[in-house]
Structure 1
Amino acid sequence: MTNSQETPQNPRLPLTLQLGNATAEEQQRLMASIFAHTQEGIVITDAEATIVEVNHAFCELTGYSREEVIGHNPRLLQSGHHSPEIYAALWQALLDQGHWQGELWNRRKDGRMIAELMAIWAVKDLCGAITHYIGIFSDITASKQSEQRLQQMAYHDALTRLPNRVLLLDRLQKEIARTDRQDILLAVCYLDLDGFKPVNDLLGHVAGDQLLIMVADRLRHCIRESDTVARLGGDEFVVLFADLTRVEECHNTLDRLLRVLAEPYTVSNQSVEVTASVGVTLCPQDGGDADTLLRHADQAMYLAKQTGRNRYVLFDAEHDRQIRAHRDQLSRIDTALDTGELRLYYQPKVDMYRGTVIGAEALVRWQHPERGLLPPSEFLPVIEGHILMVKLDHWVFTEALRQMACWHMQGLRFAISVNVSATTLQQAGFPDWLAALLAAHPQVPPQALELEIVETIALDDLGRVLPVIQRCITLGVGFALDDFGTGYSSLTYFRRLPVRTLKIDQSFVRNMLVDTEDMTIVEVVINLAQTFQRAVIAEGMETALHGAALLRLGCHCAQGYGIARPMPPEAFPEWARGFTQHPLWAAGMAFEGVLLINVEAEHRTWVGQVDDFVHGTLPYAPLINDDQCCRFGRWYSQQGLLRYGHLATFQTVEPLHRQFHQLAQELIGLHTTDASAALARLAELYAVCDALIEHLYRLQKELLAP
């Protein structure tokens, strides 16, 4: 292969072309000429998929120079358009057959997506071992775009750009086939507008067409990527909700769909209102072919019109039973609110660095007379998006302010955060209602109340939510962005949100000690908060070690079971008075040994990657540094050795650490020659990793001892 001094015009290729009696030098010269002047992009990697050479056409097609890609993995071109399964199948074909051919969407250096027709070959030596991979590709973006335009014309409605009947039937048949193979549900919803004809007759067909376009846009925004909305003609639409695991998922989406469609439209400078009647049928319970499902949904739609319009009706009798059960649940929760069965529990928030209690989060519980104390997961999903959620939120705010007033009268100055739902936040009168509630408790400073909103609520409808947030802030209350990192975080939107606190989602915090990616996410969120001058708090902190790791990353505040479980209000003051700082947190900001906390996450991640590779679920060998080059190895041989090299416990760590890295690399190499032997020895790697972590904890305990 080429070295860094060779030019792309004269590469030494890992192939030879047998041309009659041509000498090896002539063959090499001819290959170099083909490599340099062909219009197709060519990329050559070594057996570990590291790029060793590209031709001029590659650089033209991708926008990367030769120097920018040499030594890198071709995955730098990945667009994110394809699933991991596509690449796994590609690598499996290379391993099994020695070649692969197909189409891929990749991304140029300038960010533009390009479609490529690509062929890849594995090059083997005389012993049959793979030495290189060669990929040759051409740009077929123009033809793919032309194909997409033709498909758009053939399969989409000209007015609304939605799929037409032809494409709907094709997708419906495919979804029916999927329900046969998988344990999932498909909902077919036949929708007809209520009141469309008077608008069309009064304002004209042009206005009617504008209204249909607006309806189509609202429908698009009410569905997920896996769903389909199509126009059959006139004011009739069909929506397919795929991949449902529970019927209730369809209910919540349809409730929102009807609510969105019923909002006023401005057509020809006039405000008009239309609603929708929807008939719903489920597959596979109600027939197994497209015509039957559409007919049943159409029948249910007419029933919806007959029973009052602006509603949905299910064709399936079992589904009707579930609707009644859902209504019963709503009624039962409503009764629980009226009869005082709901309770507020409070989970403390602490500043680990200062060792102080800074407040609490109010969390709702249901003291059910028959079932006992129920967590919110047992009843909140039932009322999600329902107007009953507004009633519940109002109760939570009222009860939290009442409790804060009691504590303030006792001299306990606790700040309280309260979760607010999207349904409540989008109520036009919410800021005024909150202002009246604060005025009713003058002893509670508004600054002591914080409203927690989830990321998706804030970003789904920023234009509508932002003025509400700003009006509330003028009252003195603050806002926190909850579950940060779990949604589609956008810096453009985020910097416009006047929130004062970011809450790191508990799913990342809980796994940060055993998953380097979660550790990285936590660190990124902390740095983001600091950059934008926001406070940051971690939820889901389950152990003192989690707290020490958070302190080292720059996050001082946390809540979670590692601090305290949610407790009734009468228990909170006593707990707060008895709270003391954990010794590990007191040492956490200055003690360099806290670096050891990250070791478990990094090394267990490597074990998982080796496991996946040996089992064949990871198509490429994981990159594991040797024991001297990993982060812990560098710390051990430098600062660690200087400070703690005299300790016997410290000295026992190094052999285990070296053994771990050597064994991991040995299993990776063994897998290519004897996969079964590598699989049989996988347990050794787990055992060595466990022993290493155990010794590290012993060392940490010894170093932290007074």
Structure 2
Amino acid sequence: MFPQIIEGVMATRKHSSPPPPEQLFHELAATLEFDHFFSNAARGAALAVGAHYAGLIRRHGQHLRYQFLGALAADDDRRNLIPLRITDDHPAAVGLALAAGETLYIADSVQGSRAAPELAALGIHAHLLVPIRVAGRIEGALVLGWRTRPARAPGPRKRRLVEAFAAFIGHACYRSALEAALARDARHDPLTGLPNRGVLMDRLTHARRRAMRNDCLLIIALLDVDGFKGINDELGHEAGDHLLTTVADRLASSVRLADTVSRYGGDEFVIIMEDITHLGQVEALLERTLRAIRQPILFQGRTLTVTISVGLTIYPFDDHSPNILLQHADQAMYEAKRAGGGRYHCFAPTQTAPIHAGAQRYRDIEQALARDLWRPSYQPIVDNSGRMVGLEARLRWHQPNGTIVREEAISNLVARDLRERLLEQLLTLIQRDWGARGSPPVSLHINLQAADLYDPRLPAQLSRWRAELYRSAPTPVILELSDTTLAAHAPAAQRLAAALGDPGFLFLVDHFPGGRAGLAHISSAPVYGVKCRPTRDPADTRLLTALAAGIKALGLTLYADGVDDLVRQKAAEQLGCRYRQGHLFAPELDARSAAHWFKTSVHSR
């Protein structure tokens, strides 16, 4: 599809004669880029008949619409066509003219049965319509216009010349459509329209890197249609194709916008779920998907009912290459089939934690705690000048094989008593890190999970810890809750805030918007600020902009997380975020490096 405005298309020289047609055709033959090709062709056609305007009309479904219209500048030696905006881009009477299938000269664009009000409004008094054929079918027209009516209509020779240019444009339209179709077919399944396996592998590779960088879970789910072969054999391939396309549509409608659904082959599909912070999100999505697929499918008067078996694996617990992750999801899918189908099953790696609380996982984490293998990391939070104003503290377990187990990634997967021990270990290690260095120079951010809100010992534990850490300094500690946790456990969060009863603790909503907590939850909760993650997606940016305005209207402080590049930094500026955090500013650091980074950030400002 052409843009409505094409810069630098064509021009005429005021004091020089136009180049010969042979030269223009030679230029066209050497032009590969389509918009530039049309520019040259439109220029040549206009020069051939002395027209002042040139445009292109294309068919869109059942309608014809202007794709471009421009005016030749009389005093421009650069051969540029000045683009014009058309108030009404639906050409009047063109359909009747094109029905004749031949070049048509309209001597009066202002009045008569073949008048073109949209052209007359631009000062065009006469125009020429030249049909454009694509693969033998008229798909539009080349439009040439005059400011003043020519003394006579273009003669046969000039008409043949502009028809040659129109033929060139038709061939270019066909080539462009063919290239677009080939490019799409190369990346999409021809039956369902879903991304194919090649696109899947590319997205999975990048998703795995993002999950590692953003400290989030990545879910790979492989789905197989139960009983597909029987339906396909009994009712034929047409029924099988209808079943697959219906399943594909329902899968695409069940997932989030950020998720990827692809056809893996045969009756198998794959879903990639990114930015997962707790398994409740996954369970809800899978249950919704299973229900959607169970709905009856109508085919030629018959009702078909199918189910799917789903196998999933979780990165970073299953820390392998994309190919191995898919193999593990496939193994889990067959476990779901062996259990009767119509359900999901999670792959359980032998060296990492499975989805359900298991003895091996518990022992591994417990042994790491007992052997003091967990270490705190600190990621700087900066203000608009780049000065450090906070540190987000999290636990990390560096395993011998190089894998890093992140405390926040397993907190929702462990038993409550183990979660309490992990939080206690984090607070203890922070004290050990900063005891010899004095109080931390800035506010520490501590992430709380839902289980923490129900620990009756936590208020006293936090109060003692802050008093020992900061002594008499008024520096507050920021307690972060995900928006999903706040939405599901708002009363518990309010009870914790009341029990602390200390201005030295502030609550921050993280991972906003995560899909559950809205401004209503936030406005009624004892929160000081909100942390969001700027995005590259224009639709998500518009949503965040609206939410950011509401957050600031509530008098809350806005943070930006995941600012890893200049694009997200620009988005954070546009959102009006006061504080920012991400790899663009600093990675996760140990306490010594964090203290040095603070001094550097202060002295460099």
Please say whether Structure 1 and Structure 2 have the same fold, judged by a TM-score greater than 0.5: no
Q: Taking CA–CA contacts closer than 8 Å with sequence separation of 6 or more, which of the two structures ends up with the larger relative contact order?
A: 2
Q: Which has the higher helix share?
A: 1
Scaled by the length of structure 2, what TM-score is found?
0.44
TM-score under structure 1 normalisation? 0.39
